[in-house]
Amino acid sequence: MSDLMAGRPLLMVALTGALAIIFAGMAFRADTKREGIGLALIVGGAVGNIIDRLRQGAVTDFLDVYWRDWHWPTFNGADIAISLGALLVLTAMLRPSRSKELSFDRT
């Protein structure tokens, strides 16, 4: 996707902004706290990347992790927020909420 959007930071800002607005709306209507926090982290990471694109024309990745001969792709703080948020949303989807369990009628 980065090659497709290369040299078009405003298009990427518009697309990311639209998705951030959608996810923000979903966060306010989240069924669980975990889902709401996850969506908020995704929105925060997206906004961080938007700020980078508006100020610099691109997102700056600066965290470079090595362990022995292994190298993880370079990333930034916004990437961490988006990844953690996605993980929280995924776990919220896979694990039923407590309120839904309690409202189950066993008659």
**Cα dihedral across residues 64, 65, 68, 69: positive or negative:** negative
Q: Are 91 and 34 in contact (CB under 8 A)?
A: yes
Q: Is position 52 annotated as part of the catalytic site?
A: no
Catalytic residue among 52, 61, 64, 69, which?
A: 61
Q: Which of 3, 52, 79, 105 is catalytic?
A: 79
Point out the residues that are catalytic.
61, 79
